[in-house]
């Protein structure tokens, strides 16, 4: 459902932009031109400028983050963001004008179309949530069991209604729970008799179950009746993945990790990933070798020591390999400041090292790791053995992220999750497991595409 809403938003944004510039073009065209409509609709080249403008603006809106949140938090901020988008579009049109190409629009069409598109997008985005929810409606969610995971999801649903879910209550499995006593659930059902009838009357679209249900008690019996009646019954972890795009470590079971094929990527996916990862690496080396030479020279001139650094990292199935990176820290940094986890204000980082870490130039040698087969282009980021061992003690499921080869970029890196605490590391593992569970060539290409935006904005977890 959230993806469907995003697609609707993107489609209508494109339609508004396309129509705005087309209307401006028609309005500015001479009133009487017998060949106008024939040229416009019979020759597709006449529509190319409008298509280019639409794609340019959608790309700029994505890059500036206007599709991260479907609801406008501030109309002023949204207006400012739109002005940046139009500025980028005008700049691109200006650059294309030097080529004297037929795919650019005239100055007055650009001005008129931009004014129409600005107010059109402002109005459309403002009424988007209201209109879409009236047409599509909410999916009613009934939680079966009160846990920390179900509570966090209930609160998430209330904070982000534009995702299209409605929390209708919880079936309290024997615990004393009051909906009016700081509970995120509007209704609490704790009765044993007539529970199935109450659920039928509520007509939930999803019943999200927490914990293990026994068919011997009345709650389990009622849940079986709901399933037999055709209601959608799923684990609370399923809803967690839909809403947050990560696997919940608090709800995933050992049985699921052992027996479920979803955490074991198909062989053809592994083979395909190895093939296109090596192709990406070859292209990456061909395009970036001048930057590698300049980076190596800058590192050597900035501080004493080698330009290239080899570090041990934990890879596929726990195998240790040497990752290649340009050195960004002083050679004696650990001796001077101690062995600590790298952070933004790490005193061990050199002047050049700070720059190449922000721009990710220090990661370029990892193309050779991909060629050697130690890594792939997309996957969980590899960890140092000493940290992996410590994290496994605090997070027993941490090694599960080693089910696939590590990557240069990954799903967790797109969500900018640092690892300054065990809670943040746990969240990163949840993103990694979500990637493993949903691994596919299409997802890999989407991650690579989103990574470009992360690089341009100098954000993301390392």
Residue 283 has a pLDDT of 93
Nearest to 378 by CA among 344, 412, 328: 412
Whole-number Å distance between alpha carbons of 63 and 222: 48
Q: Which residues, other chains included, contact 141 with Cβ-Cβ below 8 Å and sequence gap of 6+?
A: 157, 165, 166, 167, 168, 204, 205, 206, 208, 239
Tens digits of per-residue pLDDT, 398-445?
999 999 999 999 999 888 777 778 888 999 999 999 999 999 998 898
Q: Which residues, other chains included, contact 31 with Cβ-Cβ below 8 Å and sequence gap of 6+?
A: none
Residue 279 has a pLDDT of 94
Residue 324 has a pLDDT of 95
Q: Quick one: CA torsion of 56, 61, 63, 65, rounded to 10 degrees?
A: -170
Q: Hunting for tokens 């934990």 — which residue is that? A: 314
> What is the set of domains in the chain, with CATH numbers?
2-136 (no CATH), 139-244 (3.40.50.720), 267-456 (no CATH)
Q: Report the 10 Å Cβ neighbour count for 219.
A: 22
Q: pTM for this structure?
A: 0.78
Q: Pairing relation of β-strands 139-144 and 165-171?
A: parallel
Tens digits of per-residue pLDDT, 334-363?
666 666 666 667 778 889 888 998 888 999
Whole-number Å distance between alpha carbons of 169 and 182: 13
323 close to 381: Cβ distance less than 8 angstroms: no
Residue 407 has a pLDDT of 95
Residue 30 has a pLDDT of 57
Whole-number Å distance between alpha carbons of 399 and 110: 54
Residue 460 has a pLDDT of 47
- Positions of the chain with pLDDT under 50: 1, 31-32, 42-45, 460-462
């Amino acid at each position: 459902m959230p993806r469907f809403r995003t697609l609707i938003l993107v489609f209508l944004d494109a339609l508004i932009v396309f129509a705005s510039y087309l209307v401006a073009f028609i309005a500015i065209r001479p009133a009487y031109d017998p060949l106008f409509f024939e040229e416009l609709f019979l020759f597709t080249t006449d529509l190319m400028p409008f298509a280019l403008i639409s794609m340019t603006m959608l790309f700029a809106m994505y890059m500036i983050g206007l599709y991260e949140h479907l609801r406008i938090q501030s109309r002023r901020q949204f207006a400012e963001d739109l002005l940046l988008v139009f500025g980028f579009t005008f700049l691109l049109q200006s650059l294309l004008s030097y080529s004297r190409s037929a795919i650019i629009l005239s100055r007055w069409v650009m001005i008129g179309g931009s004014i129409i598109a600005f107010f059109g997008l402002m109005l459309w985005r403002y009424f988007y949530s209201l209109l879409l929810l009236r047409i599509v409606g909410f999916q009613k969610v009934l939680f079966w069991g009160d846990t920390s995971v179900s509570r966090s999801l209930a609160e998430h649903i209330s904070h982000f209604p534009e995702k299209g879910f409605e929390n209708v209550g919880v079936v309290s499995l024997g615990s004393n729970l009051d909906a009016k006593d700081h509970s995120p659930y509007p209704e609490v059902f704790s009765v044993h008799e007539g529970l199935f009838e109450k659920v039928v009357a509520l007509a939930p679209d999803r019943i999200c179950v927490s914990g293990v249900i026994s068919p011997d008690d009345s709650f389990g019996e009622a849940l079986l009746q709901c399933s037999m009646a055709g209601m959608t019954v799923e684990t609370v972890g399923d809803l967690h993945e839909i809403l947050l795009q990560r696997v919940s470590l608090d709800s995933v079971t050992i049985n699921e990790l052992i027996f479920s094929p979803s955490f074991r990527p198909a062989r053809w996916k592994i083979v395909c990933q190895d093939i296109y990862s090596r192709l990406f690496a070859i292209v990456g080396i061909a395009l970036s070798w001048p930057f590698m030479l300049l980076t190596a020279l800058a590192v050597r001139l900035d501080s004493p020591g080698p330009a290239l650094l080899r570090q041990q990292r934990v890879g596929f199935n726990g195998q240790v390999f040497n990752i290649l990176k340009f050195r960004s820290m002083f050679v004696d940094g650990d001796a001077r400041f101690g062995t600590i986890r790298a952070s933004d204000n790490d005193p061990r980082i050199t002047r050049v090292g700070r720059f190449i870490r922000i721009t990710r130039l220090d990661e370029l040698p990892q193309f050779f790791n991909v060629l050697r087969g130690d890594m792939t282009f997309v996957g969980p980021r590899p960890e140092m053995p000493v940290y992996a061992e410590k994290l496994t003690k605090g997070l027993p499921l941490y090694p599960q992220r080693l089910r696939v080869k590590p990557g240069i970029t990954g799903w967790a890196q797109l969500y900018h999750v640092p690892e300054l605490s065990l809670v943040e590391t746990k969240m990163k593992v949840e993103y990694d497991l979500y990637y493993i569970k949903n691994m596919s060539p299409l997802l890999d290409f989407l991650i690579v595409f989103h990574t470009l935006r992360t690089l341009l904005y100098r954000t993301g977890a390392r």
